[in-house]
Amino acid sequence: MSASTTLHVVTVFLGDGGTGGNGLGVFLEAPGLPDSTRQRIAADLGFAETVFVEEPDGARLRIHTPAIELPLAGHPLVGTAWLLAEQGSPAGVLNPPAGPVPTWAEGERVWIRADPGLAPVFDTRQLASPAEVDALQGGEKGVDLHVWAWQDEAAGHVRVRVFPDEMGIAEDEATGAAALRLGQQLGRPLTVHQGVGSRIDVRPGPEGTVEVGGRCALLDTREYRLP
C-alpha cells in the first residue's frame, strides 16, 4: 500500500425508515499490513469494527475492533459483502480468519450464513422487558455484555443492547455476532431491534448455522493516511 489508501465508511443494519445503522470502516485494498498497524488504524478510526481486505479476488479479510482482532463478526461481513457488490465485485463467499462465510442479497438486504460457535462470546442476559433494556446506563468493566427482552414473542421481535467493553466499545449500535448467538439460542426467526434504531434479521440456517441480514448504505469515501 502507498502512504495513503481509500477508506469506505458503510452503515450496516439500517432500521426501518433509515434509522440506526452501525458505522464500519472498510479498506478494499489492504495487503501486507502488520497486525500491529491494522490494530493501530482501527483504534484511530474508532469504528466498532474496521475491515482490511487483503485479497479482493478471494475476499480474504481481517476484522479489528478498536482493541482486538476478531475471527468472525456479523456487521463487518454484511457491510463488506454489500460494498463489494456495490463496487462491481460481488463475492459469494467471504473469508475471514474463522473460515468461509457465504453471502448473498435478497432485495435490499444482504445476508451472511455462519456457525454461531465461531462468533465472539458474549455474557448474554435476558431481561424482563424492553423498558429494562432501555433503562441500562452502560455496561460492565471487562464484560462483553449482551442484554435482550421480548418485544413481541409471538412475532419474534426482540429489543437488544450490547456493551462490548473488552472489545474497546462502550455500546455497539448493531451487533451481528450477538445476533448469531441469540439466533442459535432461540432457534427461530427473529427481528432484532438494537441501539437507537437498527434492525437485524435473523433466521436458522442449514446444519446448525444461523443467517443474519440487513440493509446497508455508503456514508463516505475518503483518503486515509497510513500511520
What is the pTM for the complete model shown?
Answer: 0.96
- Domain harbouring 40, CATH code: 3.10.310.10
Query: Structurally, how many domains does the chain consist of?
Result: 2
Which residues are catalytic, by number? 49
Rounded to an integer, the average pLDDT of 49-77 is 95
Q: Are residues 184 and 195 in the same domain?
A: yes
User: Both 30 and 89 in a single domain?
Assistant: yes
Structural domain for 198, as ranges: 118-213
At position 9, the amino acid (one-letter code) is: V
What is the pLDDT at residue 129? 98
pLDDT of residue 69: 98
pLDDT at residue 2, as a whole number: 53
CA 186 – CA 188 distance, rounded (Å): 6
Average pLDDT over residues 163-172: 97
Beta-bridged to residue 114, according to DSSP, are: 210
Q: What is the mean predicted confidence (pLDDT) over 27-38?
A: 94
Same domain flag for 220 and 201: no
* Longest pairwise C-alpha distance within the chain: 54
Q: How would you write 31-94 as a 3-class SS string?
A: CCCCHHHHHHHHHHHCCCEEEEEEECCCCEEEEECCCCEECCCHHHHHHHHHHHHHCCCCCCEE
Measured CA distances, 10 to 25, 113, 126, 189, 194 (Å): 7, 20, 30, 26, 17
Domain identity same for 10 and 87: yes
In a domain, 50, yes or no: yes
**pLDDT attached to residue 144:** 97
pLDDT in tens, 85-136: 999 999 999 999 999 999 999 999 999 999 999 999 999 999 999 999 999 9
C-alpha cell of residue 113: 450464513
Report the mean per-residue pLDDT for the chain. Answer: 96
pLDDT of residue 55: 86
Indicate the pLDDT class of residue 56, thresholds 50, 70 and 90.
confident
The verdict on residue 113 lying in a domain is: no
Is 62 within a domain? yes
Statement: residue 217 has pLDDT above 60: yes
User: At 1, is the pLDDT very low, low, confident or very high (cuts 50, 70, 90)?
Assistant: very low
Specify if 106 maps to a domain. no
pLDDT over 70 percentage in the chain: 99
